[in-house]
Homo-oligomer: A and B are copies of this chain.
């Protein structure tokens, strides 16, 4: 049977997060084995933060958890796709629904997409 191949990416596997209802792609994160097991335990997406070098439950600060609906593994076992319910309606720390809010247009990256919250309100010190 196929299993998750954590070795190929040096202990990390890329994880695509997709809105389970609208099918919009919300973000891409990384999981190590510990965050994968935490995801299964909580039924909420947990990642490995490459910049902060720590396990990170998405929404632990903002309350914008990603509740797991379905999980898919690709043909090589080296990428995951999670369909989620995005609490708060936005995945991006900038307040946009999706982290993919720059569209390529004639050689530049044009802002696009919908801003759902004000990060200053959500991430108060």
Residue of B nearest to A75 (CB): B99
Of residues 90 through 106 on chain A, the ones whose CB sits less than 8 Å from some CB of chain B are: 92-94, 96, 98-104
In-complex Cβ contact of A75 among B73, B94, B108 (8 A): B94
Interface SS of chain A: loop
Copies in the complex: 2
Choose among B70, B73, B76, B104 the residue that contacts A72 (Cβ–Cβ < 8 A).
B104
Task: Write the nearest CB–CB distance from A28 to chain B, whole angstroms.
Answer: 4
* Cα distance, A18 to B98, chains bound together (Å): 14
Cβ contact within 8 Å between B28 and A14: yes
Interface membership of chain A positions 93-125, coded 1 if the CB is closer than 8 angstroms to chain B and 0 otherwise: 110101111111000110010000000000000
Q: CB of A25 within 8 A of chain B? A: yes
Instruction: Give chain B residues whose Cβ lies under 8 Å from the Cβ of A93.
Output: 75
Closest chain B residue, CB of each to CB of A3: B109
Complex: how many Å from CA A74 to CA B93? 11
Contact B2–A79 (Cβ < 8 Å) = no
Known contacts A1-B108, A1-B109: does B103 contact A71 (CB below 8 Å)?
A: yes
